[in-house]
Structure 1
Amino acid sequence: MIALVSAPSNLGLQPPVVGAVPGAAKAPEALREAGLHEVFHARGAVDGGVILPGRYVDDARRREGTVRNQDAFVDHARRLAHRLVRLRNAGDSPLVLGGDCSIVLAAGLASRVTGGGGLVHVDGHTDFRHPGNSAAIGALAGEDLAAAIGRHIPEVADIDGLGPYFSAAATAHVGCRYDDPHLAEVSESIGLTIPADQIILHGSSRAAARILATDGLDRGFWLQVDVDVLDPIHMPAVDSPHSGGVSPEELTAFLELVAPRAWGASITVFDPDLDPDGTHARTVAGIVAQGLAHLGEDSAAPDAV
């Protein structure tokens, strides 16, 4: 059974302007207003609750070698992971509505505690900035994939000694643009990388088939979906839009094929502040309602992963 969890954390994002707070924390309620919860509840989904984040602080004096909102992020990751563990052990498939994509690290903690599994990271960017390739670390929403496989500072990549949260060999990235600065490094570091242009050229079904045939992913995985994988002509309401993305139809078709194998999923980085009339919230809600309708139906139980 799908359990809807709200995790309205914006802690991993940079402020849109000095002194402002990123709007991604409003996404779960914007999606509720767009009818997403009503659709899932009509199908028998349950309410998995809300994990509220700590206060977002735009701190220009942040200590070098830390990430933005580090203490608040770690606290939120632990509390969200605890909820995901509880839901997974109860036989439910968590569908987490974020928030920014750094919440995938909470899913990583839960994955380790409940027996492992891979990661399918769907994002318009590789999110692979880390201390080994950049002097400008600090916003985890651009660094979450690196942290998920252990390539970041221990304070976020090894919370409670559980890192790396996902095996690099059992990790796939889908959706970055061909000019992503870390594409080559990611391709050398993880099990599978499928840039957006490969889906556009060869179709969603081929990409999904490659995911499902990859060692480690064939046993189940967490599905992280950042909506900036969509081309900004379809989804401009994100913090870092980048041309060359997929269409809603291509993303929906991909999710329909891979979601049954996932034990849970997260939807992130939609910013209602950039969607005053709710048009783009309805687009996201439609993709999620159709693409993740069968989330977890073919996933392994915790003690079998």
Structure 2
Amino acid sequence: MITVISAPSNLGLRPPEPGSVPGAAKAPEALREAGLFDRFAELGATDSGVVLAGRYVDDDGRRPSGRVRNESAMADHSRRLGARIAAAFDRGEAPLVVGGDCSILLGAGIAVAGRGVGLVHVDGHTDFRHPGNNPVSASVAGEDLAAAIGMHWPAVADIDGLGPYFRAERTAHIGHRDDDAEQEEARAVLGRVTPAADVLALGAARVGADAAAVAGPAYWLQVDVDVLDPAVMPAVDSPDPGGIGAADLTALLRKLAPQAVGASVTVFDPDLDPDGRYARLLVDILTEGLSELGTGVRP
């Protein structure tokens, strides 16, 4: 059975402009308004409530080196989200975490640490920036994959001594653009790295099967909606051309969902969707693509 958890965190994102706050924290309620929770309830899903994040602080210019923005609040939120996800596992449920930004992957990592779970990371960027390749690393929403496999500062990559949360060789990434700056390093480290162009050329079913073979037999599924082309989904923090279409993402999720112990969906920004059309599109993609979440495996 699926259970839906709201994780309205924007702690890992840079501010859209100095002194402002990213809109991704509004995503769970915007998607609820668009019918996501009702649609999953019709499939038999339960609602496991909300894990609130701490206050977002724009501390650029005064944050010490060696720290990511909102570091303490992010670690606290990750612990509490991890506990909520772990409780769902203990009840035999498959959690669907609705974010929020990509830093919520840390909470999922805490929940699965030590359970022998792989990772399939679907994202329009590799999110493989880290202090070893970028000295100004500070926004975990663009660094979550590196952090998830232990390639970041311990404050985010080794919370409570649980890192690395996922083994690199059991991690598959799908969906980056051809100009992604970290793609070659990611290829050298991860089990499989597949650009968006290959999803379009080879088909979602084949790409999904290849990723599952690396991450399986049980994995966490992280889905950043900027994997979609901005012609389809412009309501994201960093829209880049060359993404996949709605039907491609639906088919990819349908292939990946059964072997996933749970999933997280991130970086939809309702501030960029004033009439709700993109929220409604996401509801269709997610309910069609993730309806079989966790049916094939449990942690």
Matching residue's letter, 2:79: R
Which segments of structure 1 move beyond 2 Å, counting only runs of 4 or more? none
Equivalent-residue separation in structure 2 for 1:257 and 1:128 (angstroms): 24
Taking the TM superposition and a 5 Å limit, the aligned residue runs for 1:203-218 are 203-214=203-214, 217-218=215-216
How far residue 178 of structure 1 moved from its aligned partner, in angstroms, is 1.0
What's the counterpart of residue 103 of structure 1?
104
Q: Which residue of 2 aligns with 1:253?
A: 251
Equivalent in the alignment of 1:132: 132
How far off its partner does 1:218 sit?
A: 2.2
In structure 2, what is the Cα distance between the partners aligned to 1:229 and 1:291? 14
Cα separation, 2, equivalents of 1:55 and 1:93: 28
1:263 aligned residue: 261
2:201 corresponds to 1:192: no
CA–CA distance in 1 between the matches of 2:52 and 2:97? 12
Match for residue 89 of structure 1?
90
Separation in 2, partners of 1:80, 1:285 = 22
Cα offsets for 1:237-285 (capped at 9, x unmatched):
0010000000000000010011010000000000000000001101111
State the alpha-carbon separation in 2 of the partners of residues 86 and 266 from structure 1. Answer: 16
Query: Does residue 288 of the first structure (1) align with residue 289 of the second (2)?
Result: no
Task: Give how far 1:44 is off.
Answer: 1.0
Cα distance in 2 for residues equivalent to 1:109 and 1:96: 14
- Name the Cα RMSD after superposition: 0.7
Matches within 5 A, 1:223-238: 223-238=221-236
How far apart, CA to CA, are the structure 1 residues paired with 2:216 and 2:174? 16
1:117-156 → structure 2 map (5 Å cutoff): 117-156=117-156
Could you report, residue by residue, the CA deviation over 1:138-195 in whole angstroms, capped at 9, with x for unpaired residues? Answer: 0000000000000000111000001100000000000000110000000010000111
Partner of 2:238: 240
Q: Deviations over 1:188-220 (max 9, x none)?
A: 100001110001111101101212222xx2221
The letter for the 2-side match of 1:175 is G
Deviation sequence 1:29-85 (CA, Å, 0-9, x none): 100111111111111100111000000000121111100000000000000000000
Q: Distance in 2 between matches of 1:226 and 1:209?
A: 19
User: For 1:91 and 1:168, how far apart are their aligned partners in 2?
Assistant: 26
Q: Secondary structure at the match of 2:47?
A: strand
Give the gaps of 5 or more residues in structure 2.
Answer: none
Equivalent residues in 2 for 1:150-189, closer than 5 Å: 150-189=150-189
Counterpart secondary structure, 2:113: helix
CA distance in 1, matches of 2:149, 2:69: 19
Secondary structure of 2:234 counterpart: coil
Identity %: 58
Aligned AA (2:107): A
Local SS of the residue matching 1:121: strand
For 2:18 and 2:216, the matched residues in 1 are separated by 44
Query: What is the TM-score of this pair, normalised by structure 2?
Result: 0.99
Paired position in structure 2 for 1:221:
219
Shift of the alpha carbon at 1:22?
Answer: 0.3
Alpha-carbon distance between aligned partners in 2 of 1:75 and 1:266, rounded to the nearest angstrom = 18
CA apart distance, 1:5: 0.3
Name the aligned partner's letter for residue 63 of structure 1: P
